[in-house]
Amino acid sequence: MPAAAQLSSKPGAVVTTPHVRAELVAHAPEGVMPGAPVWVGLQIAHQPEWHTYWKNAGDSGLPTELNWTLPPGVAAGEIAWPVPKKIPVGTLANYGYEGTVLLPVPLEVSSNFKPPLALGAGASSMDIRLKATWLVCRKECIPEEGEFTLALPLQGSTALHKADFDAAQAAQPQPLAKAGAVEVDGNKLQVRLEGLPAAAQGKTLGFFPETPELIRTAAESGKDWTQSWQGSTWTATLPLADQRSASPTTLPLVVALAEPDRQPGQPVAWRSEAPVSGTWPAAAAPRAEVSPALQAALAANAAANSAASGSPTALPPQPAGTFAVALLGALLGGLLLNLMPCVFPILAIKVLGFARQAGNRSAHRTAGLAYTAGVMLSFLALGGAMLALRAAGAQLGWGFQLQSPAVVAALAALFTLMGLNLVGVFEFGRAAPSSLCSAQARHPIANDFLSGVLAVVIASPCTAPFMGASLGFAIGLPATQALLLFAALGLGLALPYLVAGFVPAVARLLPKPGPWMGTLRRLLAFPMFATVAWLVWVLGQQSGIDGAGTLLALLVCMAAIVWALTLRGRTRLVIATVLVAFTAVLTAAIGRNVLQTVEPAKLASNTSQRWQPWSAARVTELTGAGQPVFIDFTAAWCVTCQYNKKATLADADVLADFDSKKVAMLRADWTRRDPAITAALTSLGRSGVPLYVLQVPGKPPIVLTEILGKNEVRAALASL
């Protein structure tokens, strides 16, 4: 036997996090050659109280995944999972590993394998690369990953980790000679296994089904399920899960000795693939993993990985429903969007424009078509940009543009200009070049088209009824169908004005032109200024009080410059020049405050003590302890969110119901871009806020409507 070869200790063979130490190890007792046993594996050493998961994680969690990059002629098999242990988590239970565990994987070396020569080393070796992801949990859960590289010598015995692989082999379930049998009896499983060795007979065995969400994982032997022996035959009666998600015809399962009953050098567990007889009871709707929030964190982690690798993230399954229903929902959602407060300023201006053209049916029709074109093309552009960015790996959702402080500041400046124009501080005809004014007069439809564009810009942060489900459905569709949904949404928003342009009866309802129009125009300036105040508040949520104060100062300077440009003669030139110079200096000195994003922790002092910040770890901890959770997916720029927050979620009776049911209240603030929240929305079939979810451990999440009513919330809480 040749001398034992040494593994090359390349950087990257070990990954250390605050919770685990993960190392790529190998064992080739006869060297690397066709037909010889070659093993590699990920060895995970957990910090005290932390654990990772088996192939069936139990009531929560996810199994470790290993993705190999190997030389041509070498293939990796499946993980040879060691027997797990049952880990109680509140009223739930998981299957996983604590301490140190090795997940071994066999390598198959084919006859056409050609070993590469290690340059300058005088010997040959092959590089093994591994990308691994795992979920490590204590009370909270942390998704982690690592990339590993190992140079495996081709000659001699690689025996550095022989003891570790031997221990992992000893922890493997041994196959039973007889398949055993499983019978479905109502809401219970009757399991029968034969041929178990004498060392196991009479002992209490642990039961580990490889099919997830099948039995009640937290059931205790002797209390919730029974087992007995008749010679070498073991029988057990186990309760089915309340939310069973599978009805298999064959059940792969593992039974294992309790740790005190295990003897060195003797098998500790046995595996069977038993056929299932009997009729399964009707399965309840499949539930999510321990929470949509946990799925969100993992999806965000996967999205970051795929963005780094340049490959798109796989999307979750599409929500149930047909494309036609989704189109109708988008149309109705767009129509109802006209009732949202955020679009009132633009709608009022449109009504004023229609009133100016009273009696001119041709102008009405042209204006309606131009406005509709502006709305629909803007929805298509915004939706296309969101879909393209998501395909590139960015975690974005509806209203994503207002997650940028720069966009919020630009909109505040635009609405300030519009308000100053409406109140009469300046006229575009006096401030703009004469060529532009004449073009405006020759092509008035440009104004109608641009008003449609502006309506979409300020309406996009809102989510109306029917709209949320349709937009969430669009995320999982091919691009053409998804864009049709965005077009239907735009048609719904523009439909009232399109109908008004083509139906004379609607147009006759408008008042006749008169002096009242000047008063209304000035009155409309105040909704514009109210919109500016809202945008400044939104920016304050993103950039802090300094950012909001800076934006206000810059808006005042801009208003002063606009006023100066309305003056005449040399006074106009002097005052405007001084103001422009002062604004430039001010922008250079403090303008960066507008664009910076303040960390959420610095804004946490504004959060009510009743509401806790949302995180995957917090949701996992609460649901693991059996506590119901209510999640408010919200954003400062979402007007509907703010209305629901004040009108419903602050109601004394609603809050009393939350307290009486001991429901934890979490707030997922999407004001700033947050990939984890975006992924959580996607996992629930949504792409924007508001979204309200009541989650009860062991049950599917309850998704409430976008326009949240007190009775709806109280009814959902009463069902707990």
Specify which residues 611 forms β-bridges with.
Answer: 665
Per-residue DSSP letters for 195-245?
Answer: ---TTTTTS-EEEEESSSSSB-TTPPBTTTBEEEEETTEEEEEEEBPTT--
Are 175-277 and 600-718 in the same CATH fold? no
pLDDT at 67: 92
- Write out the CATH class of domain 600-718: alpha beta
Tens-place pLDDT, residues 303-318: 333 333 333 333 333 3
pLDDT higher than 90, residue 192: yes
pLDDT higher than 70, residue 347: no
Overall average pLDDT of the 176-193 stretch: 89
d(CA 320, CA 685): 9
pLDDT at 403: 64
Return the minimum-mean-pLDDT range out of 199-208, 346-355, 360-369. Answer: 346-355
Name the nearest CA neighbour of 85 among 112, 128, 46. Answer: 46
Q: Whole-prediction pTM value?
A: 0.45
Overall average pLDDT of the 271-296 stretch: 62
Phi, psi for 4 (deg, rounded to 5): -65, 130
Overall average pLDDT of the 461-469 stretch: 54
3-state secondary structure (DSSP) of residue 23 = strand
- Write out the CATH class of domain 175-277: mainly beta
Per-residue DSSP letters for 503-542?
Answer: -HHHHTTSPPPSTHHHHHHHHTHHHHHHHHHHHHHHHHHH
Report whether 303 contacts 383 (CB < 8 A). Answer: no
Name the nearest CA neighbour of 693 among 660, 664, 651. Answer: 664
- Please give the structure tokens belonging to residue 700: 């599917």
The residue with greater pLDDT, 203 or 583, is 203
d(CA 216, CA 211): 12
Overall average pLDDT of the 625-629 stretch: 89
d(CA 490, CA 439): 27
Please give, one letter per residue, the 3-state secondary structure of 641-659.
Answer: HHHHHHHCCCCHHHHHHHH
d(CA 117, CA 151): 12
d(CA 387, CA 378): 14
Amino acid of residue 387: L
**Residue 446 half-sphere exposure toward CB, CA atoms < 13 A:** 8
- Please give the structure tokens belonging to residue 490: 């735009």
Report whether 58 contacts 217 (CB < 8 A). Answer: yes
Query: Please, what is the angle between helix 652-660 and helix 710-718, to 10°?
Result: 10
CATH of 14-171, one of 3.30.70, 2.60.40, 1.25.40, 2.40.37: 2.60.40
Tens-place pLDDT, residues 634-664: 877 676 777 788 889 988 899 999 999 999 9
Pairing of strands 181-185, 269-277: parallel
d(CA 496, CA 510): 13
Name the nearest CA neighbour of 619 among 347, 298, 345. Answer: 298
d(CA 10, CA 6): 12
Tens-place pLDDT, residues 122-136: 446 788 899 999 988
Tens-place pLDDT, residues 234-279: 999 999 887 777 788 889 999 999 988 888 888 999 999 989 998 8
The residue with greater pLDDT, 161 or 202, is 202
Q: How many residues does the chain have?
A: 720
Instruction: List CB contacts of 346: < 8 A, sequence separation 6 or more.
Output: 451, 454, 455, 458, 459
pLDDT higher than 70, residue 302: no
> In which band, very low, low, confident or very high, does the pLDDT at 5 lie, cut at 50, 70 and 90?
very low
Q: 486 vs 105, 139, 313, 449, 679, CA distance in Å?
A: 47, 42, 22, 18, 20
245, with CB counted inside 10 A (0-12, 13-18, 19+), is middle
Q: In the chain, where are the structural domains located?
A: 14-171, 175-277, 318-595, 600-718
pLDDT higher than 60, residue 364: yes
pLDDT at 132: 92
d(CA 534, CA 416): 12
d(CA 155, CA 520): 89
pLDDT higher than 70, residue 460: no
Tens-place pLDDT, residues 379-424: 788 777 766 765 655 444 555 556 667 777 877 887 788 788 778 8
Report whether 102 contacts 42 (CB < 8 A). Answer: yes
Specify which residues 93 forms β-bridges with.
Answer: 88
